[in-house]
């Protein structure tokens, strides 16, 4: 999972890009980067680390230009060194810089095509570098013609024909403008915002989440549609085109469960309201399966569970307690690149307020249970703090299958629900009661808020991949992540 942003405005845009990346930091903690175009020159800075660690005053003074793109990364496919930080760049044609959120599932085949047919060399095993070179090759087919939105849109149509997987992209065509596009299923979010500038025209921002808009006064204009591309010239003219006819809006369900900020709106759905729905529906199942006398207080795990957990407490008419203090200087453990980092970071991330646990029956509410190791440590903390009884409720259904669209769930063997039933999971976690949300209720929590979303991408729950995914690919992906199928 990554965060991307692109800006076109009538003045230097570094501040807007930096602020937007800060708002998208939850989507990636491994690396950050910004590339800005100033005339026919690209100015870039990228490195491993958080946004505030990668950029300083010197970069503010050096990265000049009125349109640019930014990226925050957490590693899925590919390596975990500085070379994998984005935006990535190729100098031909025109000079193209690209930032990508998602994952290509046919990267090896495409890399061979690039080398043998397109005569392009790939220096990493990053699917984003492959995507960049595919796009560059398709644009270069028209290099005898003057660049135009029509040429860029045709290149994207051809790129969609060659690439499989999830694709949300912002890119710069040097000295021409910003090009953004989204795959035909709309798996990863991409939203367009605008604001009026001092010249009376419009500035534009394209980002992974609408939360990136607020700090700089951008307003939601609309979502980029599945299979759509937009091109914004450096002087603020906007063009759009549907580049894939067979498109269907199928956003990732896990965006609403965990990844997105609660103040974001994705494909017209408020993430906050979706999580409220999840809590309300989860409470109904808790009432049916757990004696209410076994619950003194409801305790959400901060932070992505607070909305759903609060709704659970309200629906059960139980006291809510915020018994864990989150260390905000420790990142999200789920998206840390290595399993040993996740384990050691749980106690650094959360510390209990002992008075909230002593001699109480606690119902923990979390957004999801993925590997189970984090929840196991949290349950231990509850008992160590004096809890009499600990129940666990997941606002999401059991996660059973690998994710191939940009989330770090590359191997089935890492997922606790893939090989254990509820009783076995409860024993592993060490809790007294365990409740999972029903998948149909989880889906309805989102789709009931929108007339546009008929279905969602939910393969991590049901194993049904909307693109062509083979067992061989899953095995290769698991091997790259150093995990077992």
Total tally of structural domains belonging to the chain: 2
Same domain, 105 and 230: yes
Measured between alpha carbons, how far is 231 from 241 in angstroms, rounded to an integer? Answer: 9
Q: Is residue 278 part of a domain?
A: yes
Question: What's the pLDDT tens digit per position in 49-59?
Answer: 999 999 999 99
Q: Cβ distance 405 to 102 under 8 Å?
A: yes
- Does residue 148 sit in the same domain as residue 190? yes
Task: Tell me: do 370 and 447 sit in the same domain.
Answer: yes
Is residue 2 flagged as an active site residue?
A: yes
Q: What does the pLDDT look like over 267-294, one tens digit per residue?
A: 999 999 999 999 999 999 999 999 999 9
The answer to whether residues 46 and 183 belong to one domain is yes
Question: What pLDDT shows up at residue 293?
Answer: 97
Residue 337's pLDDT band, with cuts at 50, 70 and 90, is: very low
Query: What are 218-235's pLDDT values in tens digits?
Result: 999 999 999 999 999 999
User: Would you say the C-alpha torsion 471, 474, 478, 484 has a positive or negative sign?
Assistant: negative
Report if residue 482 sits inside a domain: no
Q: Domain check: are 239 and 303 in the same one? A: no
Span of 317-326, 327-336, 384-393 with lowest mean pLDDT: 327-336
472 inside domain: no
Confirm whether 478 is domain-assigned. Answer: no
243 and 334 fall within a common domain: no
Domain that holds residue 410: 274-451
Share of the chain above pLDDT 70, in %: 94
Least confident of 71-75, 242-246, 432-436: 71-75
285 in a domain, yes or no?
yes
Clarify whether residues 293 and 243 are in a common domain.
Answer: no
Of 2, 163, 382, 431, the active-site residue reads 2
Residues 21 and 62 in one domain: yes
Are residues 299 and 235 part of one domain?
no
Q: Which residues are annotated as a binding site?
A: 304, 366-367
Higher pLDDT, 306 or 482: 306
The HSE-up count of residue 124 (CA atoms within 13 Å, CB side) is 20
Q: Give the pLDDT of residue 437.
A: 98
Does residue 332 carry a pLDDT above 60? Answer: no
Residue 209 and residue 162 in one domain? yes
Query: How large is the average pLDDT for residues 405-431?
Result: 91
* Per-residue pLDDT reduced to its tens digit, 449-469: 999 998 999 999 999 999 999
Q: Do 150 and 231 reside in the same domain of the chain?
A: yes
CATH number, position 340 = 3.40.50.2020
Residues belonging to the binding site for Mg(2+) are 304, 366-367
Q: What is the pLDDT of residues 262-274, one digit of tens each?
A: 999 999 999 999 9
Strands 389-394 and 361-366: parallel
Whether residue 294 sits in one domain with residue 152 = no
Q: What does the pLDDT average to over 424-446?
A: 98
What pLDDT sits at residue 331?
A: 59
Which residues fall within 8 angstroms of residue 188, CB to CB, at 6 or more apart? 101, 102, 166, 167, 168, 182, 208, 252, 255, 405, 406
């Amino acid at each position: 999972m990554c965060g991307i942003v692109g800006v076109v405005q009538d003045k230097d845009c570094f501040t807007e890009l930096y602020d937007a990346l800060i708002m998208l930091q939850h989507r990636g903690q491994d690396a950050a980067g910004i590339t800005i175009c100033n005339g026919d020159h690209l100015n870039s800075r990228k490195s491993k680390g958080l946004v505030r660690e990668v950029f300083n005053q010197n970069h503010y003074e050096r990265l000049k230009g009125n349109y640019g793109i930014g990226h925050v990364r957490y590693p899925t496919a590919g390596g975990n060194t500085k070379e994998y930080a984005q935006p990535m760049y190729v100098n031909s044609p025109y000079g193209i810089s690209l930032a990508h959120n998602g994952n290509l599932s046919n990267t090896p085949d495409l890399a061979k095509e690039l080398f043998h047919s397109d005569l392009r060399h790939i220096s990493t095993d990053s699917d984003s570098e492959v995507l960049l070179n595919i796009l560059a090759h398709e644009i270069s087919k028209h290099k005898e013609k003057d660049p135009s939105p029509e040429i860029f849109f045709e290149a994207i149509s051809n790129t969609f024909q060659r690439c499989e997987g999830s694709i949300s992209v912002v890119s710069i065509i040097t000295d021409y403008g910003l090009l953004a596009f989204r795959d035909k299923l709309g798996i990863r979010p991409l939203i367009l915002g605008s604001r009026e500038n001092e010249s009376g025209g419009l500035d534009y921002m394209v980002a992974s989440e609408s939360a990136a808009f607020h700090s700089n006064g951008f307003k939601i204009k609309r979502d980029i549609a599945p299979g759509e591309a937009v091109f914004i010239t450096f002087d603020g003219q906007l063009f759009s085109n549907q580049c894939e006819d067979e498109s269907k809006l199928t956003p990732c369900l896990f965006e609403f469960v965990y990844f997105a900020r609660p103040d974001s709106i994705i494909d017209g759905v408020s993430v906050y309201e979706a999580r409220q729905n999840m809590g309300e529906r989860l409470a109904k199942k808790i009432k049916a399966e757990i004696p209410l006398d076994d619950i003194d207080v409801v305790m959400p795990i901060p932070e992505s569970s607070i909305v759903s957990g609060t709704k659970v407490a309200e629906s059960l008419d139980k006291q809510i307690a915020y018994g864990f203090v989150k260390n905000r200087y420790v990142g999200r453990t789920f998206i840390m690149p290595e399993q040993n980092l996740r384990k050691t970071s749980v106690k650094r991330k959360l510390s209990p307020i002992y008075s909230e646990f002593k001699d109480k029956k606690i119902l923990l509410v979390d957004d999801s249970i993925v590997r189970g190791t984090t929840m196991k440590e949290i349950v231990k903390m509850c008992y160590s703090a004096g809890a009499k009884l600990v129940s666990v409720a997941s606002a999401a259904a059991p996660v059973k299958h690998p994710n191939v669209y940009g989330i770090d769930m590359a191997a089935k063997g890492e997922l606790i629900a893939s090989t254990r039933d509820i009783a076995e999971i409860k024993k592993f976690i060490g809790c007294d009661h365990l409740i999972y949300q029903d998948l149909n209720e989880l889906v309805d929590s989102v789709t009931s808020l929108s007339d546009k979303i008929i279905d969602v991408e939910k393969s991590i729950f049901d194993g049904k991949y909307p693109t062509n995914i083979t067992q061989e690919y899953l095995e290769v992906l698991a091997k790259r992540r150093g995990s077992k199928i």
